[in-house]
Amino acid sequence: MTLRATLLASAAAIALPLTATAADLTLRFGHVGNPGSLFEASVDAFAECANGKLGDRAEVQTFGSSQLGNDRELLQKLKLGQVDFALPSSVMSSVAPEFGVFEMPYIVQDRDHMRRIQEELGDTFQEAAQSQGYRIIGYFENGFRHITNNTRAINVPADLEGIKLRTPNGEWRVKMFQLYGANPTPMAFSEVFTALQTKVIDGQENPYAQIASAKFQEVQEYLSVTGHVYTPAYILVGENQWQKLPEDVRADLEACGSETQDFVYDHAAKLETDLLEVIREAGVEVNEADKQAFIDASAPIYEEFSNTVEGGAELIERMQSAASGS
């Protein structure tokens, strides 16, 4: 072998491990949010924070619009190590029963209440996630949910009678809308626009940020402001994959999970005002629902959760107590 060939071979041998190391520390964050959604803004803010702290030790790359899978697929990919982060919301109620408490209508009053829940019950939800092989490294939000449909304005639960309404894949949301008289139809978020457009379903329920970014206002006639459920979104990782990351990388990622929450909450509050006008200007008829009528109709779902989920009654009580900080 010539000297030149020997030097080239040596250089290649040195370069290979460096390339492998860099690839190992490319961290993929998959989510279902469309361009312009709260999810996209939230994940991008997290990635900006993380990449600023991590420097050349690792890079967080973001993939929205269900590019890496829907919520259920992303949960599986976290465990397989095919995705490093996901941002599940309602689907967590099917991961561990404790998360079903967020499906109780009107249980979360506002974002300050959610902060207190996080502080006082965070360990409970972390243990629930870890029992299923996951870890929560931050709390973002999906937001306060409202109903859109093409049949009629929804003022009271009885107005939902017979309406085929898309819901996320979570047993308590399905039970809630069955209780109200609707025909709930679980469906992946990425499939909803086409299902509305082709009239496979009559309506759906989501926060304004998801409604507007998915352009549901183009295929819906009515928006009823119900605010029936507030859904957190969880920066979720697979526990096994998480433990393989260097300790300093984990620390920076957890710090960003916390540090970007204020941005997410402030941005979400602004979108609630701005996007309601976007939806209204698209020609959608908007009405304020009778929230007390929905609260009154929700008692059986609270009772069922208390009776069927271990520790459910205590969890509801602690959630409600956190509203006043007591």
Angle, helix 111-130 to helix 261-281, in steps of 10 degrees: 120
Tokens of residue 186, six digits:
């679980």
CA 133/CA 208 separation, integer angstroms? 32
Q: What is the mean pLDDT of residues 21-32?
A: 80
**pLDDT for residue 324:** 81
- What pLDDT, in 10s, does the model give residues 39-72? 999 999 999 999 999 999 999 999 999 999 999 9
**pLDDT for residue 170:** 86
Q: How confident is the model at residue 24 (pLDDT cuts 50, 70, 90)?
A: low
**pLDDT for residue 326:** 57
**pLDDT for residue 19:** 36
The 3-state secondary structure of 52-120 reads HHHCCCCEEEEECCCCCCCHHHHHHHHHHCCCCEECCCHHHHHCCHHHHHHHCCCCCCCHHHHHHHHHH
pTM: 0.88
CA 229/CA 108 separation, integer angstroms? 7
Pick 2 or 71 by higher pLDDT.
71
The rounded percent of the chain whose pLDDT value lies above 70 is 92
**pLDDT for residue 196:** 98
Architecture of domain 19-321: 3-Layer(aba) Sandwich (3.40)
User: What are the domain boundaries of the chain?
Assistant: 19-321
CB 66 within 8 A of CB 88: no
The 3-state secondary structure of 303-314 reads HHHHHHCCCHHH
Looking up tokens 């008289």, which residue turns up? 181
Nearest to 90 by CA among 296, 233, 211: 233
CA 31/CA 50 separation, integer angstroms? 17
Tokens of residue 187, six digits:
């469906």
State whether residue 241 is helix, strand or coil. Answer: helix
- What pLDDT, in 10s, does the model give residues 112-142? 999 999 999 999 999 999 999 999 999 999 9
Does residue 9 surpass a pLDDT of 90?
A: no
